[in-house]
Amino acid sequence: METMEENRMKKSIRDYETVALDDENSAVVIIDQTKLPGTTQIISLRTGEEIWEAIYLLKVRGAPAIGVTAAFGIYLLAKQTEADDFETFYQEFRRQKEYLDSARPTAVNLSWALNRMEQVCLANQEKTVKEIKALLKEEAVRIKEEDIQVCKAIGENGLSLVKPGDGILTHCNAGQLAACKYGTATAPIYLGEERGYHFRVFADETRPLLQGARLTAYELFSSGVDVTLICDNMSGMVMKNGWVNAVFVGCDRVAANGDTANKIGTSVVAAVAKRYHVPFYICAPTSTIDMNTPTGAEITIEQRPAHEVTDMWYQEPMAPEGVKVFNPAFDVTDHDLIAGIVTEYGVAREPYTESLQEIFRKKQDAMKKQEKQGKSRV
């Protein structure tokens, strides 16, 4: 376990893997993000309860990172199953899958990754359980590798929307700590930094869990990015002053009409950006786009415990005992406030019901091309 100063002397937080598989010791290895920025604590998750709790308590968070954790987790839980016939094995797999899926209802990547792992089971019923376990590991590793490639592609597409020296505002943490590398909303920032763009970044603190202060400001600052931390209610001032040229945020679910669910406060940033004519962009891998959810109104919004607002960051409670607390983890940003949704296959724009379909057509074409190339190499 390292303190902030010890960590800074040794390496950047970006030198650590957000999520890793320790197959030899049957563990998912993560950074405990509830301890950042003061302490960098690497923890190993071995049981279904430990994995579920890590996701629910935000020890691992961010849609892509949650998906990778779920994929590694369900593989390890399946590996531990002693059943040698498919039906018994699959019943246990389903039980564990449904349990993990209940940890965070809003982040679609959780169910997306678990469903993808389940398809490996269903598509290989004729194989032995041992062979299915090996295929599950391959798929989980592939999900992580794809996440890195996807985030870089999002970064390239996002970088095309800004110019060197621009001011960028971001909310919550959609950085490397929310993914496996680059992040989503920070991917254009990191790629720009590598290429000498010298962006000026403003990071909202993001109440009540302070992901912007504890995580985004920390990882950008430790990476040498020019970052300024602001309170959530300061975004209007920095935009009015002309210091912000674009807003990049991540999201946990995109509906078919372009409505997006992201960390609470995102819709406020979007509304303020609209007022001051600052383009507001959602950075989302296609795995986060849920075409089966028509609009944001159908997205389940997770409710968090009251103590996160009243006492979590204070030596003593900062609210009267017994006061009612409304603490939704996310809000929905209406599609008409969004200038574009940046994906690994391009930037979708209004009308999103059409452009998101086009994004998925590009994805299907790319997958078919990869499949043909694979067959030709064989």
Phi/psi at 256 (nearest 5 deg)?
A: -60, -25
Helical H runs in the chain?
4-10, 48-56, 63-79, 86-101, 108-122, 129-159, 187-194, 211, 217-222, 235-240, 266-275, 307-310, 352-377
Which of 305, 290, 282, 264 has the alpha carbon at shortest distance from 111?
290
Identify the DSSP state of 302. Answer: P
> What element of type H or E holds 348?
strand 346-348
Q: How many CB atoms lie within 10 A of CB 5?
A: 9
* 155 in Cβ contact with 191 (< 8 Å): yes
Task: Provide the annotated active-site residues.
Answer: 252
The answer to whether the beta carbons of residues 250 and 262 sit under 8 Å apart is yes
According to DSSP, the β-strands at 27-31 and 2-3 are unpaired
CA 46, chain centre distance (Å): 22
CA distance 329 to 82: 38
Q: Which residues of 240-252 are buried (b: 16+ CB within 10 A; e: fewer)?
A: eeebbbbbbbbbb
Look up tokens 């809000």; give the residue: 331
Residues forming a β-bridge with 263? 330
User: 224 phi and psi, to 5 degrees?
Assistant: 85, 10
Give residue 367's Cα distance to chain centre.
23
Alpha-carbon distance 302 to 327, whole Å?
A: 9
Q: Count CA atoms closer than 13 A to 340's CA, side-chain side.
A: 21
